[in-house]
Structure 1
Amino acid sequence: MSRALSRLMSALGLEAQDAEPALLEPAELARWYASLSPEERVAVSRELAPRVRAPRATRDPSTLPAVATGRLVFEQDGPQGPLPLHHLKVELWDRDPGAPDDFLGEGFTDGDGHFAIRYDPADAGIGDLPDLELCFFEPQHTFRKDGRVVEAWRRIGSQRGPDDHGGLHYDFGTLRLPYWEYDPATPLARLFVTEEGTPPTAYAPGRSLAMLKAVSPIELIKRQHLLQIRLGQTPSVARLQADYPESMTVRMEREAPGSSRGDAFFGERLLNGMFATVMDRDPEVPGDVCAFRLYFPWNAYEQDGIHCLPDVDVRLRLVDGRVLPVRIVLGLREPGATAPGSPVTRRTFTPEDGASWEAAKRIARMSATLDTELGNHLGQCHFNVEQYAIAAHRNLRRNPLRWLLMPHLREVVLINHSASGFLVGPNGYITRASALTERGIEARLQHLMGSYDWRGFAPAAPVCEGHRYAHAAQLFWRLLGEHVDAFFAEHGGAVEAEWREVRRFSDDLVAHSVPAFVCRYLRARVPGKDAPWFVRSERMDLDVKAAEPPPRAVSAVTHTDVPQPGELDALKQLCRYVIFFATFRHAWANNLQWEDAGEVLYACLGLRWGKGGVLVAEEDPEVAPAPDEATEMLWISWMLSKTNYGLILANEEDDVHPRLVELLRARAAEFAALGLDVRTISSRINI
């Protein structure tokens, strides 16, 4: 409560009954009231109304003499014209400048955005004609310990009407609200925020403190480095590294030199580090041999010609329970080449190549780091979840589906809005520190987003006993299945009763997702063919998505206002998918940033062309990241890993269903055996 609101409530005798009211003159009361925010004025008016107005019997709204009507629509039209803002709460008030406003009535927009609020003009006060004003509210919720929902309403806007309105009917007409609009300037489903504006939501208060606590220890380190660089006293990469807290690989090298650069550790991090991704079988090796392939096709994108980012083809084998690299093929451009599809020279490296093998592994680690940041992290989690968040906020209000999804969709658009300038864009860190240009990054992200779909998704099976990430992913997926099934068992009938909201949610998702993307290599080898080497469980259905013209990447849940057979199960699958990426998958990729990207010479986003090429020793300063980019990288990696707020078990805002909290807590020991502390799993993406 603000100081102004507290003082005014006390003066009006609206605080605790044993509190001594403050004595204020009428003019000072008006001044204090004028200083309040709209939300605080509403609070005062609600408290004051029953004390200054004589009690009266509840009246049938249909008997009230006056009515205010209108229609709410989104600011941006759809293909068929205005899009209705359905099921928003609308309140009608009498404005009283300098004094508490008078509440006149309330209602909800219908499925087409229309509303009608009946009211009594006498409620404006004796001798006062109402100065009409509409206020709009969206629903919020929290859960009690027993799982019961507590609903609340958050004001999102208002519209002034006429002063001293003496008639019995007023039509506000069609009102356009800029509410959770899509950005028309990008092919991705991104929230539209004007240059001077702010997103239609806010971080939870505790998140700012968590960020400050995480960043404070290293902020001065980075500032000191940048100042030294500007003064011409540039520290070496080794000096920069030593100033930051010790990362996992730095500690490993101190305790056992060479341990973090070995083949076994290389394979281990591809399985269980922040790089953890789908492991396809090697299509060139017989099926009875356990061999795998990772391929990063960077030559398809525009590059800056300064950094070296070759195509990387990594072949691995399962040997004595460990996944080991056995061959790395690099498709190297000529230094300075920038165009997509530039000519490349392919060079093959094996463990017998000594120093060149170590250099090739370093390039592969760099490639995996960039792919993780753009794919596993930014694309598959941040931007993928954002498209579900926008569609949900635009459409889910009466449907109890909101209680299941919204805790995991809050704040993602906020952190993504920051990432649009901080990480990507013309001056973003990834743009500056990697070989990809702004256009190259945009093309890569569009291709990635074109490959994500909820339909048919399930975490891939582990490739070996030591594949801890895959074991943990499958365990969490089963846990989410229990949670979602229990929710639908309790609320499935109400979900079906408000299926029109589900249809609009689905329509928005499909309409604003990018076209499905299937690269030429996969088109030639997977759709309609027997391809046992290709892991299908985490991928979209290529037999469907490889059609021409390409369909949208995101599949529809429904096309009707009434659920058809199988569609309720499809909706459950979508919910499970969204929560998985907003919680477990993002936490795994994000929380390991400091472990896997906390040493500049071990892993970075980009290596530069040096006089001796790029296949040189780690210590070559011409190839390593520039000092300013190096200190920024360490700062970012620490910040991402150490900012922890909005955790499932902590449930700081009480918006996560208690069932999910208990399901996760009950499996804490199983996850711990896989190296995952369940206390670190976030409930949403806010970092």
Structure 2
Amino acid sequence: MIMSDKINQIVGEFKQVLGIKVADSALGKKKAEKAAKKSIVQLKEQKFNKPLDQLSKVKGKLVFSDSNKPLHNIQLELWDRDIGTPGDYLGTGITDYNGQFTIYYDPASAGFLDLPDLELRLLDNRIHFDKENQPVSTYRIAYIIKGPDNVKQKEYDLGTCTIPYWLYKPDSHFARLFFSELEGTPDDYSVGRTLAGYDAASGLVPIKAKHVITNTLHPDQPSLPEIQAAYPPNLTMKLDQKTPGYSRSDEYFVDRIINGMNPCLLKRNKSNPNLFKTAFIWNDYEKDDDHDLNNVEVFFELKGDKLVATSITVQSRYSDSYAPHSLLKAPVTFTPKDGDKWSQAKRIFRTNSFFAAEMIEHYIKAHLQMEQYTIAAFRNLRKNPVRLILSPHVKSLVNINQRADEVLVSPTIGLVTTNGPLTPASVVQICKESIATYDWKGWKPRQPLCESHTFAKIANLYWQVLTEYLDIFFEDYKDEIVKEWVEIRRLSDDIVEHSVAYEPHIPCGSAPDSDYDWYDYNELDKPDIPRVTINGKVKATRPITNSDQPNETDIQNLKEFCRYVVFVLTFWHSWVNDAQANEGGELYYSSLALRNGSFGSENDPNIAPNILESTNLIYMVNVLTAIKYGYILKNEDDDIPEELRTTLASYKDKFASLNYDIGNIRALINV
């Protein structure tokens, strides 16, 4: 590294530390709170002292600028625009399902001898519940249309106005939000979440900065033990403090495979129902030149009601085998009798599992997949009560996804792409392959395969909670849901239209196998359920409805859709996200990739991630789990429906019997 690069690196780290310290200061927090309050506007009450035929009016039509579809049920305010002053309120209105509106106003409201300079304000609203559990809306200005000056006409037609509201990103393979530098984000974090982020980062950013600066000046420093000691101890380290060696035991190894951050879906032997296996096979993908990429399979036997690991098969690439379908070394199989080699094979599997968890189960399945539903919900749900179900869970997602694109999968600095073994192009390839099979229709959690399969038990219990909650909600709000069904039809149309094309794909954690088949198909693609074709492409995501008037099947589809989306946004993301430090916070236990052959002592720094990768990994997994804000039962933003909170709380003891605290279920993806 040349001197100018070193200086820039050091200055950049100092800036990051200074920036987070300022943001986390009392002044910074006060500024954040002030900015949030400033964005909120009070909806004006419209009163006229004249009959309507003596008033002027403005009419027009609003459409999305990316589709020319009507922008329906959006709240509007008409103002007289005055330079240098706040302006004068004239009237209010709302668009109909054709995007059309009419607003009456009294020209005299513009002021004495002042003809109105028209300004139309589009208002976004967010809903929270008051102490009586009644919904209350707060508003902010989403967009402003500047009309003509000095309007004399009694009736003025603004015509058709195209609005850049929750736009889809053009030319994106996935349904992603288009972020405009001029308009900014349409969905800011809550103040509480912003402040929690500052708190979480303020203690961790200086640690990473110290390591990066030290390494910039002294390339062989700090040592990996020094890096590890600087960060908080994670779960595996705490377990070993209590019971030395437990985190490396076969018992804990199997427990993490079925109940960990990446709860693997196992295959069952077709001839012997007591034999199982799981695998990570990467033959289809290009690897980088810094890390090892190993195919790995673990085999199990169900003895009584206990799953036991019996062997691990590792197949490695040659050092120069970068391309997909490269020549592989002969597979090598290890058993518990192989001592150190068995332990090293388990570490190789843990590394594969953690990498797949971070890339697929965390980023793709939760963050990336849920953006398609989030955009469609904000574009279309304003009057339908289903908005009360989805809004508290989809909010903030587009913001954190934009951040995740940078910190997880950016080609140059992303954790997955720089610390993992695959090239950025291969990561994108897996994103495309994975999303192409995901859908809400027919999905439900896997069934437990043995007594110790607590993840499956907890997932099914939470699925039951959501089923009861949605049954109650739909019974209470059925008339309004049906009345405003057009919003659901448009929600469904947007989702399907912007869905990726369906492509049958075998998950990268598996391979065709004549001897084994999935023990459970609940979470896998259901090719027998029909899909729709648009412009010659079969869409991965199925429609909720094809009608402006629902039948009973449509209602059940909507319930099923809501249950799936809420499940992923809350429980699934909570499970995966909050286990990151547990499974990636100890360098010698696991990492996103190994090096130099992968086999060897845990204490060998040549096999572990390099110095910068090591501190970046532990820093990131700690930050992403340290932000403690946005939980269902805490309901910090007062927007979680009471029906969900009370139903979940009624199951507290049942979850506790599985050693799971329902207070840990996050309400949304905001980290």
Determine which of 524, 528, 544 is the counterpart of 1:539.
524
Contact between 1:272 and 1:469, CA under 8 Å: does it hold in 2?
A: yes
Deviation of the 1:252 alpha carbon:
3.0
Deviations 1:30-84 (A, max 9, x none): xxxxxx999969969959x9xxxxx964x554x243221222111213xxxx222
Secondary structure of the equivalent of 1:600?
A: coil
Q: Which residue number in structure 2 is paired with residue 496 of structure 1?
A: 482
Indicate whether 1:452 and 2:425 are aligned. no
Distance 1:118 1:521, change over 3 A: closer
**1:366-424 CA-partner distances (Å, limit 9, x unpaired):** 11001111122111111122111111001111111111110110001111000111110
Match for 1:386 among 371, 376, 396? 371
| Change in CA separation of 1:600 and 1:409 when aligned onto 2, cut-off 3 Å | same
Gaps of 5+ in 1: 1-35, 50-54
1:681 aligned residue (644, 665, 670): 665
2:279 equivalent to 1:282: no
Task: Answer yes or no: is the 8 Å Cα contact 2:42–2:139 preserved in 1.
Answer: no
Match 2:559 to one of 558, 572, 576 = 572
Q: CA deviation at 1:195?
A: 5.6
CA distance in 2, matches of 1:44, 1:320: 64
Which residue is equivalent to 1:582? 569
Deviates more, 1:318-327 or 1:514-523: 514-523
C-alpha contact (below 8 Å) 1:381/1:582 kept by paired residues: yes
| Deviation (angstroms), 1:196 | 6.6
Q: Distance in 1 between matches of 2:375 and 2:40?
A: 28
Between Structure 1 and Structure 2, whose CA radius of gyration is higher? 1
Amino acid at match of 2:376: A
Aligned pairs for 1:171-320 within 5 A: 171-194=157-180, 198-232=184-218, 233-283=220-270, 285-287=271-273, 289=274, 291-320=275-304
Q: Which amino acid aligns with 1:306?
A: D
The 3 A distance-change label for structure 1 pair 234 and 40 is: closer
| TM-score, length basis structure 1 | 0.87
| Alignment deviations for residues 163-195 of structure 1 (CA, whole Å, 9 cap, x no partner) | 111111222222222111112243111111146
Q: Return the match for 2:349 from 324, 346, 364.
A: 364
Note the alpha carbon deviations across 1:312-356, whole angstroms, 9 max, x for none: 222222235332222222232111322122222333222233222
2:78: which partner in 1?
92
Conserved? CA contact 1:64–1:118, under 8 Å: no
Contact 1:89–1:108, Cα closer than 8 Å, also in 2: yes
8 Å CA contact 1:518, 1:546 repeated in 2: no
1:87–1:110 Cα contact (<8 Å) kept: yes
**Per-residue deviation at 1:305?**
2.8
Q: Distance in 2 between matches of 1:546 and 1:99?
A: 55
Whether 1:563 and 2:550 are equivalent positions in the alignment is: yes
Q: Is the 8 A contact 1:94 1:130 kept in 2?
A: yes
* SS in structure 2 of the partner of residue 300 of structure 1: coil
Question: Which of 145, 148, 153 is the equivalent residue of 2:139?
Answer: 153
State the partner residue of 1:518.
Answer: 504
Query: For residues 197 and 183 of structure 1, what CA distance do their matches in structure 2 show?
Result: 14
CA distance in 1, matches of 2:429, 2:183: 27
Question: Could you tell me whether the CA contact under 8 Å between 1:381 and 1:585 is conserved in 2?
Answer: yes
The ranges of structure 1 where at least 4 consecutive aligned residues each deviate by more than 4 angstroms after the TM superposition are: 36-47, 520-526, 529-532, 544-550
Structure 1 residue 636: Cα displacement: 1.1
Overall identity of the aligned pairs, in %: 37
Native 8 Å contact 1:306 1:336 kept in 2: no
Which amino acid in the other structure matches residue 70 of structure 1? G
What are the residue-to-residue correspondences of 1:69-148 with 2, within 5 Å? 69-77=59-67, 82-148=68-134
Letter in 1 for 2:612: D
SS of structure 1 residue aligned to 2:466: helix
Aligned equivalents of 1:550, 1:97: Cα separation in 2: 51
1:473 counterpart (459, 466, 480): 459
User: What SS does the corresponding residue of 2:364 show, helix, strand or coil?
Assistant: helix
| Residue 657 in structure 1 maps to residue 628 in structure 2 | no
Aligned partners of 2:346 and 2:436: how far apart in 1? 29
- Whether contact under 8 Å (1:515, 1:553) holds in the other structure is yes
Matching residue of 2:389: 404
User: Alignment RMSD, CA only?
Assistant: 2.8
Q: Which runs of 5+ in 2 are unaligned?
A: 1-33
The 3-state SS of whatever aligns with 1:607 is coil
2:606 partner amino acid: E
Deviations 1:196-222 (A, max 9, x none): 763211000011221222222322221
Q: 1:229 to 1:649 in 2, by over 3 A?
A: same
Q: How far apart, in 1, do the equivalents of 2:314 and 2:532 lie?
A: 31
> TM-score w.r.t. structure 2 length?
0.89
Letter in 1 for 2:499: S
Aligned equivalents of 2:532 and 2:496: distance in 1?
16
Query: In the alignment, is the contact (CA less than 8 A) between 2:531 and 2:539 conserved in 1?
Result: no
| Matches for 1:596-611 after TM superposition, within 5 Å | 596-608=583-595, 610=596
| Partners of 1:298 and 1:425 in 2: CA distance | 21
